Amino acid sequence: MTTTKGLEGVVATTSAISSITNDVLTYRGYSIQDLAEHSNFEECIYLLWNGELPTDNQLDIFKNKLAENAGVPNEIFALIKAYPLQTVHPMAVLRTAVSALGVLDPDADRMDLLSNKDKAIRIQAKIATIVAGFARIRQGAEPVAPNKNLGFAANFLYMLKGRIPTEVETRAFDTALVLHADHELNASTFTARVCVATLSDIYSGVTSAIGALKGPLHGGANEQVMNMLEKIGSLDNVNFYIENALASKEKIMGFGHRVYKNGDPRARILKKMADQLTKLDGDARYYEMSVRIEQLLREKKGLLPNTDFYSATLYHALGIEKDLFTPVFAMSRTSGWVAHILEQYSDNRLIRPRAEYNGPGLRPYLAMSER
């Protein structure tokens, strides 16, 4: 047996959902650049789940289903209200709330494709309402009910802030959701596949994935980027901070990638949007600091930004609180997790690798008196 730490370079499955080849990311064969420019989040969800772009009519039906399923049972918000709201991390709330959705769904264990697709719509739609609702509840306000006339991106911002977002805000947020929707066999997607490969239910798969996304080496990096920008504070402090961090071998959040070695294509698109939005916003401080950090890391370590780096500035400019950055990532990535869960069910094999044992050799049991 040979051990590959972190499974680096190991090909664990075949998948027809998304690919990263020569630093080009595609969903079902469409490049992320094309999708970011021409598509929208609902269309991408449909594409990921069904393999093809929807017709006008198919998209209308799909959007309506999402809008109709966005309401969240009262039990979920009652549960959230019982949590230590000022200290709990929203990702922990989201993980628990999605699990609770499964408890409340009488169809949770139905395994036929139609039932799973219906549950997928319910999870996808409700997850946005949960994130926005939690944000309101911890501010002492009541959740804002979903607005059926708004698309997914606009509706989330509406439920979060209680006002209809501008077209520029909606477009920027919608594009960010498109960019984060899927990413081949990343850690959380692999987690989801491992979970459902035991023939566990879709709620368990998404709940496990949320747990994996929460970590700072995965989805949690976007929040850490914002923490870093706040800590640095101003453009003048960037050089000093980065040089110190590199000298003490600290990892700079939002940089580096296991798969992309010549740069993450999503980061380039997000950078452009962060630039536009912060200019409109009239506060480009974090964007300018980010550009300087990018220059320094490229010069000093040859490291390039990943998707989490500029999404931090972008979400900040959209008025999203920093600890909601990862839940927002989860809202988008749910579409990819679900696509992978459905694919796993369609041709399932239990995922059960081996470990190379490096503990003590076989030894006789030690009686209590001899320990």
- Residues with a catalytic annotation lie at 257, 308
Q: Which of 146, 254, 265, 327 binds ligand CMC (CB under 6 A)?
A: 254
Beta carbon of residue 193, minimum distance to ligand CMC (angstroms, whole number): 16
Strands 30-31 and 18-21 come out as unpaired
Residue closer to ligand CMC, measured from CB, 45 or 270: 270
| Residues whose CB is less than 8 angstroms from the CB of residue 309 and which lie 6 or more positions away in sequence, other chains included | 225, 253, 254, 255, 267, 270, 290, 294
User: Residue with the closest Cβ to ligand CMC?
Assistant: 256
Residue closer to ligand CMC, measured from CB, 143 or 336: 336
- Residue for token pair 């401080």: 285
Residue closer to ligand CMC, measured from CB, 40 or 186: 186
| Residues whose CB is less than 8 angstroms from the CB of residue 338 and which lie 6 or more positions away in sequence, other chains included | 48, 49, 120, 123, 124, 202, 206
Structure tokens at 44: 């991408």
Beta carbon of residue 178, minimum distance to ligand CMC (angstroms, whole number): 15
Stretch that binds ligand CMC, among 97-105, 142-150, 217-225, 344-352 (CB under 6 A): 217-225
Separation CA 32–CA 307 (nearest Å) = 12
Q: Which of 65, 89, 171, 251 binds ligand CMC (CB under 6 A)?
A: 251
- Residue for token pair 């796993």: 344
Using CB under 6 A, count the residues that bind ligand CMC. 18
Stretch that binds ligand CMC, among 57-65, 248-256, 284-292, 348-356 (CB under 6 A): 248-256
Q: Which of 100, 179, 253, 320 binds ligand CMC (CB under 6 A)?
A: 253
- Residue for token pair 């959007």: 63
Short-list 126, 132, 134, CA closest to 104: 126
CA distances from 9 to 3, 137, 238, 348 (A): 12, 43, 34, 22
Interactions with ligand CMC, residue window 272-331 (CB under 6 A): 301, 303, 306-308
Short-list 168, 167, 189, 170, CA closest to 178: 170
Alpha-carbon Rg for the chain, nearest whole angstrom, is: 21
Burial 21-48 (b: 16+ CB within 10 A, else e): eeeebbbbebebbebbeebbbbbbbbbb
Q: Which of 69, 129, 175, 186 binds ligand CMC (CB under 6 A)?
A: 186
Does position 175 interact with ligand CMC (CB under 6 A)? The reply is no
Does position 219 interact with ligand CMC (CB under 6 A)? The reply is yes
Structure tokens at 318: 């959209």
Q: Which of 148, 258, 279, 300 binds ligand CMC (CB under 6 A)?
A: 258
DSSP SS3 for 323: helix
Decide if 182 contacts 17 (C-beta within 8 A): yes
Stretch that binds ligand CMC, among 129-137, 202-210, 214-222, 340-348 (CB under 6 A): 214-222
Q: Which of 28, 257, 316, 340 binds ligand CMC (CB under 6 A)?
A: 257
Residue closer to ligand CMC, measured from CB, 144 or 253: 253
Does position 268 interact with ligand CMC (CB under 6 A)? The reply is no
Does position 76 interact with ligand CMC (CB under 6 A)? The reply is no
Residue closer to ligand CMC, measured from CB, 50 or 227: 227
Separation CA 51–CA 339 (nearest Å) = 9
Decide if 156 contacts 173 (C-beta within 8 A): yes
Does position 218 interact with ligand CMC (CB under 6 A)? The reply is yes
Q: Under the rule (CB under 6 A), what is the footprint of ligand CMC?
A: 186, 217-219, 221, 251-258, 301, 303, 306-308
